Amino acid sequence: MTVGLAPAEGRMAMAWSRAGRATGGLFLCALLLALATLLGDVTPAAAQALPGIPQNLSAPQDPNKKMLVTADELVYDYEKNTVGASGNVQLYYDGASLEARRVTYDRNRNLVTAEGNVRLKQKDGTIVNAENLQLSDDFKEGFISSLRIDTTEKTHFAATRADRVEGNITVLQNGVYTACEPCKEHPERPVLWQVKAARIIHNQNEQMIYYKDATLEFFGLPIAYFPYFSSPDPTVKRKTGFLAPIFANSSQLGFGFGVPFFWNIAPDRDLTLSPVYYTQQGLLMQGEWRQRLMNGSYDIRAAGIIQNDKEEFAGLPGYRDNRGVVQSKGEFVLSEQWKWGWDGTLASDRTFINDYSLGNYVDGLGLLTTVPTEVISQIYLTGQGDRSFFDLRGLYFLGLSVTDNQEQIPIVGTFNYNYIFGNPLWGGEAGVKVNFNAVSRNEADFVGTSAANSFPSGGIGIAPGACAITNPNPTQCLLRGAPGEYQRLSAELYWKKSITDQAGQIWTPFASARVDVAHSNISALPTNYTGGFTLPGQNPLQAGQEDLIRAMPVIGLDYRYPFISVQSWGTQTIEPRAQLVIRPNETGIGRLPNEDAQSLVFDDTTLFEVDKYSGYDRVEGGGRLNVGITYTAALNNAGLVTAVIGQSYHLFGLNSFSEGDMANTGLESGLETNVSDYVARFSYSPTNNLEFVSRFRFDEQNFSLQRFELEGRAAYDRISVAAVYGLYSPQPLLGYYEEREGIYTTASYRLTNEWSVAGGLRYNIAQSGFDMTTVGVTYADDCFTMALSYVSNYSLNGPYQTEPNSTVLLTIGLRTLGQTALSTSLGSSGTTGTSN
């Protein structure tokens, strides 16, 4: 360790008495060694200490590292046995520095003293400002006056005095702590929040900071007083202790209060206990165990309560003494391509999760979202290769609405495998698709049609369809789910090739061959049920066992011929398109359940689909010709215009869409006649941040509007807006006897870099009322977050309602100290509003 001298003009002078000349160098080395310890590397144990407070550092210093000392004068006092540097002292060692007017090492008392505008910058970037600093040479005892610490984690401490005692405890007298940065334009103004305490005590061994006689201030104004509270060291990522409290209010539960406890068992596992006491229902115990293993992680969550007043849930699933839920989730990596996992829920009753707000419906900003309607339990195995995909999973659906009948909800097993051959076949792409589906349901799932629904005058609430399950009437009921068991295995081999000729025409021949093997064992159906609105001569779904093997070979040709015109105002493209599909008739229609192909929407997105069904349980048959024309105009500095119009023609064989199944899928879809309805789309995007899209379906005979959707999206600077309007004609064969019309809008606006507002409205035009409203206000900066949200919608948690449920959630977070939430349920007693 050497002393670096300043240039010859005498920036540094050394002076000592003649008697001390012989040993002065030894004392200087002692001073430098003490300062090197002060500025040197911290040990792992000290790394978790309060930043900026010198700790007991026993690790030896590297003798090869050099210290640079500059000062006006280096003085050795033989009589007092001290050596020091004075006058603009600056010391640099291994990336750290110390500045002061005077630095002295007292060998008799083993004290290092720095005086006058002391500024200590440690190697990690932490800066300590003080008026005076005095520490023993082993740094177990000492004090710092007029202290300010600025850490690299952007946390700040200040105190009139800091005392170091017992080698591991630092006490800040009249201390202040904040994680907020001062205002750059007006640093004299109070920070957003800070904690003032008579004493701030840091225990290095416990890695905890204790605040006594503390006051929480916002913008310099006190808003809360705490005789005592504690928090982990800001550098600690995980620490055992109490978390921020939880507050809640609900008409069915009463006022709720809880203080979660976090137990940091080991670096790879922890446990969180979150008891919440409700004034009406008693103590709700909650716990969550988390563990990370070498190749994945899992967690287990549980909650339970013995209700004091179950009468609040009279007539509802929650009318019981003991209620609870156990949930678990995990995922593990088997290799770069393979992983498996699970997500499971087991509840005492279907509304417990929503009654006590245990579902995950708070987004990343802390805003409340809509109440979940179901929980999916599953176990899965997935694989992803360069040209293949594998997915195997079993699913169990837990309905959370009061009208859900778990006996009508199926248990599902599914398997999907896709593979694209690596070598081209006849110059084109070839591959294979495999799907397996197994469904088990205890009771038939009949759904009442809209004609059966009745609402009070002026009401837009939710009521179960008036379908007599014990004696279903086909004019009021549709069979959405068949009772019993059903399995189907489907495999498809496909090939396609795109050819562009010299004239620019694009020819895409394609072929496929699909085989389905299915078995069903349908439980007894009501004797008067005939399978819904079926056409004369059609065989409805029958009870008993049924086996089916069907094959569907397909050949076809897709033709496109784009015409491009370049003008002074832009470029336009007109592309006629025709698609010819040749195949035999669909067989076995209605003999087996239709579980995965009930969603059928005929519009521009499905016009050129070879098979327009959404799943495998139905397969489109018969010859078909799909035709359309696309127009695109790229306008110079004016955006992009696109338009599509088309129609589908049934050429020969049996039209699958004219043959209904248990859910009448295909009927009144616009495809059930030999000449389909017209479908069209028009869109305009003036800029990348603004787009309007409209979709239409017109009756092929009288051009009456059957389906209309208008969507707009805009994003400019700090604002984004989206709106969707829908108008749908009645479809009596599908259970919709009345016209449906509504609009849904969402918008968000960033007022400043910190403040933003967001909201959404859904208005049911057909029933003249709002059925969902969301409003949220958020604030987020480097040290403070706040989210205030309001959600009002109709829920089936409680009895039939003509008024919506409304929930308000306030979430406040102080960086490094924690986050707390307060929620309340307003209006109807159908839902509650606790937030964890």
Task: Give the predicted TM-score (pTM) of the model.
Answer: 0.78
Q: What angle do CA 702, 703, 707 make, to 5 degrees?
A: 130
Q: Reply yes or no on whether the pLDDT at 28 is more than 60.
A: no
Convert the pLDDT of each residue in 178-205 to its tens digit: 988 888 778 778 888 999 999 999 887 8
Q: What angle do CA 539, 541, 543 make, to 5 degrees?
A: 120
Compute the distance between CA of residue 117 and CA of residue 127 in angstroms, rounded to an integer. 13
Per-residue burial over 746-776, b = 16 or more CB atoms within 10 Å of its CB, e = otherwise: bebeeeeeeebebbbbbbbeebebbbbbbbb
Query: CB–CB of 763/770 below 8 Å?
Result: yes
Phi, psi of 786 (to 5 degrees): -145, 140
Tell me how crowded residue 367 is: count the other CB atoms within 10 A of its CB: 21
Mean of all residue pLDDT scores within the chain: 83
pLDDT at site 559: 98
Q: Reply yes or no on whether the pLDDT at 740 is more than 80.
A: yes
pLDDT confidence tier of residue 162, bands split at 50, 70 and 90: confident
Compute the distance between CA of residue 614 and CA of residue 621 in angstroms, rounded to an integer. 14
Q: In percent, how much of the chain has pLDDT > 70?
A: 82
What is the mean pLDDT of the segment spanning 479-497?
Answer: 94
Least confident of 239-243, 493-497, 514-518, 620-624: 239-243
25 vs 290: which has the higher pLDDT: 290
pLDDT confidence tier of residue 531, bands split at 50, 70 and 90: very low
Which of the listed ranges 227-241, 457-471, 739-753 does the model predict with the highest average pLDDT?
Answer: 739-753
Q: What is the DSSP letter of 425?
A: B
Least confident of 319-333, 666-680, 720-734: 720-734
Least confident of 146-150, 434-438, 477-481, 799-803: 799-803
The three-state secondary structure class of 811 is: strand
Compute the distance between CA of residue 770 and CA of residue 765 in angstroms, rounded to an integer. 8
Query: CB–CB of 56/46 below 8 Å?
Result: yes
Block residue for tokens 């029958």: 542
Least confident of 243-252, 372-381, 419-428: 243-252
Compute the distance between CA of residue 692 and CA of residue 749 in angstroms, rounded to an integer. 20
Convert the pLDDT of each residue in 77-94 to its tens digit: 888 888 888 888 888 877
pLDDT confidence tier of residue 472, bands split at 50, 70 and 90: low
Q: Reply yes or no on whether the pLDDT at 436 is more than 70.
A: yes
HSE of 323, CA atoms in CB hemisphere, 13 A? 25
Alpha carbon dihedral 56, 61, 66, 71, in 10-degree steps, equals 30
Query: CB–CB of 647/678 below 8 Å?
Result: yes
pLDDT confidence tier of residue 543, bands split at 50, 70 and 90: confident
Name 33's Cβ contacts closer than 8 Å, sequence gap at least 6: 1, 61
pLDDT at site 30: 53
Block residue for tokens 């039209």: 655
Q: Give the domains, in start order, of the chain with CATH numbers.
A: 14-237 (2.60.450.10)
Alpha carbon dihedral 661, 663, 665, 669, in 10-degree steps, equals 130
Query: In Å, how far are 44, 180, 217, 782 from 183, measured between CA atoms?
Result: 34, 9, 16, 12
**DSSP string of 634-690, one letter each residue:** EETTTEEEEEEEEEEEEEES--GGGS--TT-TTTTSS-SSSBPPEEEEEEEEEETTE
Least confident of 41-45, 676-680, 722-726: 41-45
pLDDT at site 622: 95
Tell me how crowded residue 293 is: count the other CB atoms within 10 A of its CB: 11
Compute the distance between CA of residue 411 and CA of residue 441 in angstroms, rounded to an integer. 7
Q: Reply yes or no on whether the pLDDT at 716 is more than 80.
A: yes
Convert the pLDDT of each residue in 349-363 to its tens digit: 988 988 888 875 666
HSE of 583, CA atoms in CB hemisphere, 13 A? 30
pLDDT at site 748: 92
Compute the distance between CA of residue 631 and CA of residue 644 in angstroms, rounded to an integer. 6
The three-state secondary structure class of 397 is: strand
HEC profile for 571-628? EEEEEEEEEEEECCCCCCCCCCCCCCCCCCCCCCCCCCCCCCCCCCCCCCCCEEEEEE
Compute the distance between CA of residue 581 and CA of residue 496 in angstroms, rounded to an integer. 13
Name 411's Cβ contacts closer than 8 Å, sequence gap at least 6: 394, 395, 396, 439, 440, 441
Which of the listed ranges 123-127, 136-140, 706-710 does the model predict with the highest average pLDDT?
Answer: 706-710
Tell me how crowded residue 71 is: count the other CB atoms within 10 A of its CB: 23
Residues in the chain: 836
Compute the distance between CA of residue 449 and CA of residue 734 in angstroms, rounded to an integer. 8
Convert the pLDDT of each residue in 43-68 to its tens digit: 333 333 444 444 433 344 555 667 78
Q: Which residues are 517's β-sheet partners? A: 489, 549
Alpha carbon dihedral 564, 567, 571, 575, in 10-degree steps, equals -30
Compute the distance between CA of residue 64 and CA of residue 66 in angstroms, rounded to an integer. 6
Least confident of 468-472, 538-542, 658-662: 468-472
pLDDT at site 42: 37
Record the tokens describing residue 740, joined without a space.
Answer: 């449906």
Phi, psi of 35 (to 5 degrees): -70, -35
Q: Is 649 exposed, middle or buried (0-12, 13-18, 19+ CB in 10 A)?
A: middle
Query: CB–CB of 235/48 below 8 Å?
Result: yes
Q: Reply yes or no on whether the pLDDT at 13 is more than 70.
A: no
pLDDT at site 15: 35
What is the mean pLDDT of the segment spanning 614-641?
Answer: 95
Query: In Å, how far are 238, 272, 273, 274, 323 from 260, measured between CA atoms?
Result: 14, 7, 5, 4, 20
Compute the distance between CA of residue 494 and CA of residue 611 in angstroms, rounded to an integer. 13
Q: In percent, how much of the chain has pLDDT > 90?
A: 46
pLDDT at site 62: 58
Least confident of 40-44, 134-138, 639-643: 40-44
Query: CB–CB of 805/831 below 8 Å?
Result: yes
Q: Reply yes or no on whether the pLDDT at 566 is more than 80.
A: yes
